[in-house]
Amino acid sequence: MSEKSNAPLQTVGFIGGGNMAYAIASGLLKKGVLKAEQICVSATNLGNLQKRWCPIGVTHVTTNNEEIVSKADTIFICVKPQIFPHIVGDIESAAQKLGANGFRKLYVSIMAGVTLERLKNALPTIDGNNLVRAMPNTPMQVSAGCTVFCRFGRSSTTEALYEAMKFMFEALGLAYEVKESQINAVTGLAGCGPAYVYEFIEALADGGVMQGIPRDMALRLAAQTVMGAAKTVLDTGKHPAVLKDEVCSPGGATIHGVHALEQGSMRGTVMNAVERASNRADQLS
């Protein structure tokens, strides 16, 4: 079945209209999972919201967080962790006004390092089983994202919304339900990982420019090379080391390049980046 045939009949709200919220919403619109009229978003600067969100068809933009909670069935909390204490009052106020109706809403936090326990303590009006912690990444906007998520337990009132949330994440790339103890590690790997890859693409292109390739061509060749290599790993199921060996002919150009990467401790540096980002997510907890 297509994404359209399974599109959840609901309103999806975003508290926070930054890069991650935009990546999720724009990706869902491109895939036809949601229509623009099913989306609403709030942030502190109405002008910035209108400038970015209205061109993709989302016209319900507001500075009123309570409005999002009242209107939406699934609410994505997409603010930075340090902003969360400033919006808790808005969410709680709206939930209290909704009364029993508020128990039929799903709240999905994508805030790095903010645990389910912290969410539950900060939002006592909301049933803990209606709280979800998720870690997506920005390539969702091109349907090539990675998302992991977890929850306290099942809630009969929001089970359909939870399944719809899973469907939305799966429509935009890989999606896994995991233990909460794994979330911060995934943050360091997949949540922050696109930035590492963008740096590699830029460096690969710079190397091409240094060898005389025009900048635009070098950048497109570098990006296509990374995309092609990643797709080969996913489609063939082969270990990257096996695929690397298939490219490295004895005495050839590739093995000399790989030698240079090893001299620069590329693998150790990347592993350190994942470790440091994961540790920072732990600190945010």
List, as residue ranges, the binding site.
15-20, 65
**How far does the chain reach from its first CA to its final CA, in angstroms?**
39
Spatial neighbors of 204 by CB under 8 A, at least 6 apart, are 218, 222, 225, 226
DSSP class of 42: E
Token couple for 132? 């979800």
Q: Which residue carries 């309570």 as its tokens?
A: 66
List, as residue ranges, the binding site for NADP(+).
15-20
Annotate 23-59 with b (16+ C-beta within 10 A) or e (fewer).
bbbbbbbbbebbeeebbbbbbeeeeebeebbeeeebe
Token couple for 254? 């590739």
- Distances in Å between the Cα of 246 and the Cα atoms of 231, 238, 254 are 16, 11, 10
Query: Phi/psi class of residue 251: alpha, beta or left (left: φ > 0; alpha: ψ in -120 to 50)?
Result: left
SS3 176: strand
Give the DSSP per-residue string, 143-162: T-EEEEEEESS--TTTHHHH
List, as residue ranges, the binding site for NADPH.
65
Q: Which residue carries 């400038």 as its tokens?
A: 51
Token couple for 10? 């609901």
Spatial neighbors of 17 by CB under 8 A, at least 6 apart, are 41, 42, 43, 48, 49, 52, 53, 61, 78
